[in-house]
Amino acid sequence: MTESVSTSAHVQSFIEVDVTNIVNWRNKVKDAFEKQEGEKLTFTPIFMEAVAKALKKYPLMNISVDGDNVIKKKNINIGMAAALPDGNLIVPVIKNADQLNLVGMARVVNDLAERSRKNALKPDEVQDGTYTVTNVGTFGSVFGTPIINQPQVGIMALGAIRKIPSVIETEEGDFIGVRSKMYLSHSYDHRVVNGALGSMFAKAVADYPEAWDADREI
């Protein structure tokens, strides 16, 4: 971690996301999803899907730095930071994440998380990541400033989902309502990623859950 901080010029962008539609949708379908697919539906695969789509939209976030060389990655392999029972951390990698639908993503996420806890991952399952996501909200953190997993150039922290009073804009005017919101924290390497790209990438991740179809089929 110290080497990463001294290697990369860390800059952070933060964005607030309204995830009310996702929360309501998940509450509505999670039992049917588990019965139909045999998998629990958490929020993690939804955000992994969002990150994969954003990386496809902004491929210059899906790069690595090797000395003076910038290496563009063809595959989108998302590292998923997982806390272990002994307090340590491991980062299993979802390979070709952009090719998975939500059901496939849920299966991979659940499998990697479970085998991480059992120390049953294979060596190649913790290698070749091109971007990393860490869920600091699991432990109640609203947001964090994660350290980049070298030689990647970005890492995103998912904050805790909280119900908060929020201004809702309508054609009839503004009013206050209760919404489920969270923060995305994006740390990126300022040597190769400027603030515009870093912020647009975070916004692309946020746009996906905010545009969620509450009537989406499983």
Domain annotation covers residue 30: yes
Q: Give the residue-averaged pLDDT of 188-213.
A: 97
Domain annotation covers residue 134: yes
Domain annotation covers residue 218: no
pLDDT value for 6: 96
Domain annotation covers residue 194: yes
Domain annotation covers residue 120: yes
The number of domains in the chain is: 1
b/e map 84-96, b = 16+ CB within 10 Å: eeeeeebbbbbbe
Q: What is the pLDDT of residues 15-67, one digit of tens each?
A: 999 999 999 999 999 999 999 999 999 999 999 999 999 999 999 999 999 98
Task: Judge whether 202 and 196 are in contact, CB under 8 Å.
Answer: no
H/E element, 19: none
Q: Give the residue-averaged pLDDT of 92-114.
A: 97
The Cα-based distances of 42 to 34, 104, 105, 195 in angstroms read 10, 13, 11, 31
Q: Give the residue-averaged pLDDT of 90-98.
A: 97
Which pair of tokens denotes residue 92? 């299993």
pTM: 0.95
Task: Judge whether 183 and 45 are in contact, CB under 8 Å.
Answer: no
pLDDT grade for 218, boundaries at 50, 70 and 90: confident
Q: What is the pLDDT of residues 71-90, one digit of tens each?
A: 999 999 999 998 888 878 89
Task: Judge whether 53 and 207 are in contact, CB under 8 Å.
Answer: no
CATH of the domain at 156: 3.30.559.10
pLDDT grade for 197, boundaries at 50, 70 and 90: very high
Q: Give the residue-averaged pLDDT of 119-134.
A: 96
pLDDT grade for 179, boundaries at 50, 70 and 90: very high
| Structural domain for 129, as ranges | 2-210
Beta strand 89-90 with 78-83: parallel, antiparallel or unpaired? antiparallel
pLDDT value for 89: 87
pLDDT value for 190: 98
Sign of the alpha-carbon dihedral angle for 177, 180, 183, 184: negative
Task: Judge whether 210 and 198 are in contact, CB under 8 Å.
Answer: no
Domain annotation covers residue 215: no
